[in-house]
């Protein structure tokens, strides 16, 4: 009861403060119209032809520069270009870049045209940091030395990082409480031999604060350091405040410093897992066998982190507690200490690299065991809280000697199959910029149909934004989708079909449909698809209770004119999807078919004036019209004439509304913006 009296008022204050703050935009010291900024570099990352720099100027700001520059920490630079507001999430359930940057106290990004070094005088502390990075780069194992010592895992291979995420061991790459505890214990052990106990703690605290600077004050390290300081003060002053209260105090301090930490994944996982491990510490300590104790810790951490991981990655690996049983001691007692020693004694580099390869290969192989990797749909706040209520009850019973953990796995199984209980069919137009991608999701898991994938042209062989990786794949997973009954490519233009191969690699695709004219992109897709491909212009396909009718029989050998046109009726709602079809295609429809009035029209060719004629619109009278067009696209889509022709329809445009979701039972519309 005494504990509640301390925690509850403080927690309520923090919650109210956070709610107030996140609903009021922070006031920036920058003007959004500024074209020139200056500041000292505190972080730099070079990716192929792009340099990402974070500077401390009037406030923290992130600079995107398409090119390479002399990027030395501590240098003062002047950048000329354009101030940008960071992108909010314009698709449902996905990563919100703007909130992530707010958690780093960054309100704006800056697109630089030129960057000039105006002062090479580097403060001592940056000189030390540059020296450490320079030394790390001289090792073959430099990618992992930066991750384990400097908290920077940006250079790790993407497929390796993905395997760590799938296996639920990404936390081992982040410097967290375990590493800070190990580091502080080592320092205390050495310092107590040469200093008094109090001085040893003081020196250790200053060393940890310095380490915070080296790792750019990452939320998980900041949590561990502040918590260590508070624990030390509590112990030295004999305040006798319990550990949970101290954890709540640490959380409060960090949220008062930056309320937007609630959007930081490391912060959420660090505090949530720490809370449950501390509350279960007595149960854990009763176990004498090291491996059983490690398994209990891993299982509790798995349960504690599950809802957060579900809503961030939309998947869970049931093998994670067992996988951690191998990886936790392997990383904690072999790789991490060896990384510290190797950083000093370079001849150990080859040994470290060899051991790292063992870890990488084990992780990649384990991540390919798909049967235990559950795709789990995004959950709203009510079910998120319910998850934690159930987890808390299960762990409470477990502490009393009663094992109900099987209930959690039953809930996961139900969650994994939740689409069979879904009574609503819906159509979603994703915001993929200047391209098309539409998902039709039928009720009771009777069919998942993806029409087009989007794609960005790759000019000058420069790497472009990967739509499948960043939008389509995570969105499909957030809907609890792990397979596609049909992938339909209306035609072979890049903005409709480029991402198809990534979709095929990441999902079980049962059927692939294309039009009859196949360009090189489509031929490559067909070559890499191991099932039957249907080339069609006119005809129909039956998917359980519905039919898709393909209506375009022009066959002009022109990508847009021959674009697949799809008509279907779902929940008694008429839907017409025009792909990039032109006015010539529309005339063909009018002359060939007796089309009904449409409830939903996917407007042809992104709202270009080459489609959506006044006569065609009048003949089908769409209630709702959807236009997929990129923000600030060079074509000026959608065209004003097209919008005028659709004046009697309820028009939604992705560049304005973000993704658009329509409930096909009652035509209720939800937009991501």
| Tens-digit pLDDT profile for residues 606-645 | 999 999 999 999 999 999 999 999 998 999 999 999 999 9
For 634, half-sphere exposure in the C-beta direction (CA atoms, 13 angstrom radius) is 0
pLDDT tens column, 494-527 = 999 999 999 999 999 999 999 988 899 999 999 9
CB-CB contact of 251 with 14 (8 Å):
yes
Phi, psi values for residue 269, rounded to 5°: -65, -40
Taking CA atoms, 450 is separated from 338, 447, 544, 561, 601, in Å, by 48, 10, 16, 21, 16
- The pair of structure tokens assigned to 431 is 């915001």
Among residues 66, 93, 122, the one where a domain terminates is 122
Q: Which residues contact 500 (CB under 8 A, 6 or more apart)?
A: 453, 487, 489, 525
Q: Which of 351, 465, 414 is nearest to 97 (CA)?
A: 465
80 and 154 within one domain: no
Q: Are residues 216 and 286 in the same domain?
A: yes
Tell me, what DSSP letter sits at residue 402? -
Do residue 469 and residue 530 come from a single domain? yes
pLDDT in tens, 135-160: 999 999 999 999 888 888 888 888 89
Report pLDDT for 524: 95
Indicate if the pLDDT at residue 252 is higher than 90: no
Phi, psi torsion values for 668, nearest 5 degrees: -70, 135
- pLDDT confidence tier of residue 118, bands split at 50, 70 and 90: very high
Q: Are residues 200 and 345 in the same domain?
A: yes
More confidently predicted of 62 and 23: 62
pLDDT tens track for 197-218:
889 888 999 999 888 888 888 8
pLDDT at residue 18 greater than cutoff 80 = no
Encode 455-478: b = buried (16+ Cβ within 10 Å), e = exposed: bbeeeeeeeeebbbeebbbbbbbb
Q: Tens digit of pLDDT for each residue in 76-114? A: 999 999 999 888 889 999 999 998 999 888 999 999 999
The predicted pLDDT at position 600 comes to 98
Q: Looking at 84, 101, 122, which one is the last position of a domain?
A: 122
Kindly tell me if the per-residue pLDDT of 468 is higher than 90: yes
Sign of the alpha-carbon torsion through 439, 441, 447, 448: positive
- Same structural domain for residues 241 and 173? yes
11, part of any domain: no
Overall domain count for the chain = 3
Are residues 438 and 405 part of one domain? no
Q: How many helices (H) and strands (E) does the chain have?
A: 26, 24
Residues 6+ apart with CB under 8 A from 607: 627, 629, 637, 638, 639, 642, 643, 653
User: Is the pTM above the cut of 0.75?
Assistant: yes
Domain end, chosen from 414, 446, 475, is at 414
Q: Mention every residue, 6+ apart, whose C-beta is less than 8 A from residue 187.
A: 200, 203, 204, 207
**Same domain as 374, residue 294:** yes
Q: What is the per-residue pLDDT across 261-310, written as a single tens digit (0 to 9) for each?
A: 888 898 899 899 999 999 999 999 988 888 889 899 999 999 999 999 99
Averaged pLDDT, 426-442: 97
Which pLDDT score, from 0 to 100, does residue 55 have? 93
Residue 174 counted as domain residue? yes
Which tokens in the block code for residue 620? 């089908």
Residue 21, sorted as left (phi over 0), alpha (psi -120 to 50) or beta, turns out to be: alpha
**In terms of C-beta distances under 8 Å and separation of at least 24 residues, what long-range contacts does 320-325 make, across chains too?**
320/167, 320/168, 320/169, 321/295, 322/295, 322/298, 323/167, 323/168, 323/169, 323/366, 324/168, 324/169, 324/294, 324/298, 325/291, 325/294, 325/295, 325/298
Q: How far apart are CA 93 and CA 266, in angstroms?
A: 18
Beta carbons within 10 angstroms of residue 527's beta carbon: 10
Is 21 part of any domain?
no
**CATH number of the domain within which 442 lies:** 3.60.15.10
Question: Alpha carbon of 107 to those of 2, 26, 56, 64, 324: distances in Å?
Answer: 40, 8, 12, 14, 37
Torsion of CA 268, 16, 94, 460, to 10 degrees: -90
Same domain, 345 and 384: yes
User: Who contacts 19 (Cβ-Cβ below 8 Å, separation ≥6)?
Assistant: none
- pLDDT band for 1, please (50, 70, 90 cuts): very low
274 SS3 class: helix
Determine the distance from the C-alpha atom of residue 599 to the mean position of all C-alpha atoms in its chain, rounded to a whole number.
34
Expressed as residue numbers, the domain containing 98 is 36-122
C-alpha count within 13 angstroms, C-beta hemisphere, residue 48: 4
pLDDT at 9 over 60: no
Domain assignment of residue 580, yes or no: yes
Domain CATH for 108: 2.40.50.140
Question: Which tokens hold the place of 465?
Answer: 């934004």
CA pair distance 195, 251, nearest whole angstrom: 31
Give Cα separations from 126 to 76, 121, 220 (angstroms).
12, 10, 22
Average pLDDT over residues 20-42: 81
Identify whether 293 is part of a domain: yes
Quick one: how far is CA 265 from the chain centroid?
Answer: 10
The predicted structure's pLDDT at residue 7: 55
**Residues 591 and 615: beta-carbon distance below 8 Å:** no
Task: Give the burial string for 124-140 (b: 16+ CB within 10 Å, else e).
Answer: eebebbeebbeebeebe
Per the listing, tokens 């923090």 go with: 14
Q: Return the higher-pLDDT residue of 313 and 14.
A: 313
Structure tokens at 71: 């990027």
Is the pLDDT assigned to residue 538 strictly greater than 70? Answer: yes
Residue 8 pLDDT level (bands cut at 50, 70, 90) = low
Q: How far is CA 645 from CA 49, 566, 576, 600, 601, in A?
A: 43, 21, 17, 15, 13
The overall average pLDDT reported for the chain is 91
pLDDT at 388 over 90: yes
Inside any domain, residue 657:
yes
Residues 555 and 659 in one domain: yes
Note whether residue 266 is domain-resident.
yes
Residues 432 and 348 in one domain: no
Q: Give 235's pLDDT tier (boundaries 50, 70, 90).
A: confident
Judge if 87 and 152 occupy the same domain. no
Residues near 477 by beta carbon (within 8 Å), at least 6 away in sequence: 313, 314, 315, 375
Q: In terms of DSSP bridges, do strands 109-119 and 50-56 run parallel, antiparallel, or are they unpaired?
A: unpaired
The owner of tokens 């445009």 is 653
In a domain, 29, yes or no: no
For the segment 320-374, what is each residue's pLDDT rounded down to a tens digit?
999 999 998 899 889 989 999 999 999 999 999 999 999 999 999 999 988 899 9
With a cut of 70, say whether residue 447 has pLDDT above it: yes
Q: Domain check: are 556 and 623 in the same one?
A: yes
């Amino acid at each position: 009861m005494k504990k509640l009296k301390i925690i509850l008022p403080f927690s309520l204050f923090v919650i109210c403060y956070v709610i107030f703050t996140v609903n009021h935009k922070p006031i920036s010291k920058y003007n959004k119209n500024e074209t020139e900024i200056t500041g000292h570099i505190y972080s730099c990352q070079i990716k192929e032809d792009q340099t990402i720099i974070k500077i401390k100027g009037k406030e923290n700001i992130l600079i995107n520069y398409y090119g390479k520059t002399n990027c030395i920490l501590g240098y003062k630079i002047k950048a000329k270009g354009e101030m940008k507001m960071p992108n909010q999430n314009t698709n449902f359930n996905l990563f919100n870049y703007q909130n992530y940057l707010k958690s780093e106290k960054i309100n704006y990004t800056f697109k630089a045209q030129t960057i000039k070094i105006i002062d090479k005088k580097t403060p001592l502390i940056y000189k030390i940091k540059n020296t450490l990075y320079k030394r790390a780069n001289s090792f073959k194992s430099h990618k992992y030395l930066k991750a384990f010592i400097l908290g920077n895992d940006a250079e790790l291979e993407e497929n390796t990082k993905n395997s760590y995420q799938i296996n639920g061991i990404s936390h081992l790459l982040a410097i967290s409480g375990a590493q800070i505890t190990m580091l502080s214990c080592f320092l205390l052990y050495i310092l107590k031999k040469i200093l008094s106990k109090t001085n040893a703690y003081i020196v250790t605290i200053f060393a940890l604060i310095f380490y915070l600077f080296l790792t750019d004050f990452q939320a998980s390290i900041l949590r561990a350091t502040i918590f260590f300081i508070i624990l030390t003060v509590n112990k030295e002053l004999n305040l006798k405040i319990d550990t949970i209260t101290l954890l709540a105090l640490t959380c409060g301090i960090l949220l008062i410093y930056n309320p937007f930490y609630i959007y930081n994944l490391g912060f959420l996982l660090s505090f949530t897992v720490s809370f449950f491990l501390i509350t279960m510490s007595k149960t854990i300590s009763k176990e004498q066998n090291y491996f059983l104790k490690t398994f209990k810790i891993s299982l509790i951490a798995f349960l504690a982190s599950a809802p957060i991981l579900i809503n961030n990655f939309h998947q869970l690996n049931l093998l994670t507690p067992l996988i951690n049983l191998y990886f936790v001691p392997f990383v904690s007692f072999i790789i991490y200490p060896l990384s510290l020693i190797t950083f000093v004694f370079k001849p150990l580099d080859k040994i470290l690299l060899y051991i790292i390869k063992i870890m990488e290969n084990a992780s990649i192989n384990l991540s390919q065991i798909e049967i235990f990797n559950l795709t789990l749909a995004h959950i709203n706040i009510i079910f998120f809280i319910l998850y934690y209520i159930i987890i808390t009850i299960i762990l409470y019973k477990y502490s009393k000697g009663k094992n109900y953990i099987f209930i959690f796995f039953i809930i996961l199984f139900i969650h994994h199959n939740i689409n069979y209980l879904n009574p609503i069919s819906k159509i979603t137009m994703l915001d993929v910029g200047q391209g098309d991608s539409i998902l039709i999701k039928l009720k009771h898991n009777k069919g998942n149909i993806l029409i087009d994938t989007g794609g960005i042209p790759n000019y000058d062989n420069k790497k472009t934004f990967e739509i499948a990786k960043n939008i389509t794949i995570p969105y499909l997973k957030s809907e609890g989708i792990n397979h596609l009954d049909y992938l339909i490519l209306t035609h072979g233009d890049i903005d409709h079909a480029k991402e198809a191969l990534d979709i095929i690699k990441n999902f079980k695709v049962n059927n692939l449909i294309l039009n009859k004219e196949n360009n090189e992109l489509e031929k490559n897709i067909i070559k890499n698809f191991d099932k039957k491909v249907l080339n069609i212009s006119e005809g129909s396909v039956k998917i359980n209770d519905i039919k898709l009718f393909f209506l375009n029989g022009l066959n002009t050998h022109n990508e847009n004119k021959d674009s697949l046109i799809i008509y279907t009726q779902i929940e008694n709602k008429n839907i017409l999807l025009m792909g990039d079809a032109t006015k010539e295609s529309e005339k063909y429809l009018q002359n060939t078919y007796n089309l009904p009035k449409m409830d939903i029209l996917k407007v042809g060719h992104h709202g270009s004036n080459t489609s959506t004629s006044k006569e065609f619109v009048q003949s089908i009278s769409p209630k709702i019209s959807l236009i997929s067009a990129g923000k600030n696209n060079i074509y000026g889509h959608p065209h004003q004439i097209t919008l005028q022709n659709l004046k009697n329809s309820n028009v939604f445009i992705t560049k304005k509304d973000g993704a658009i979701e329509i409930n096909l039972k009652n035509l209720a519309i939800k937009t991501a913006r």
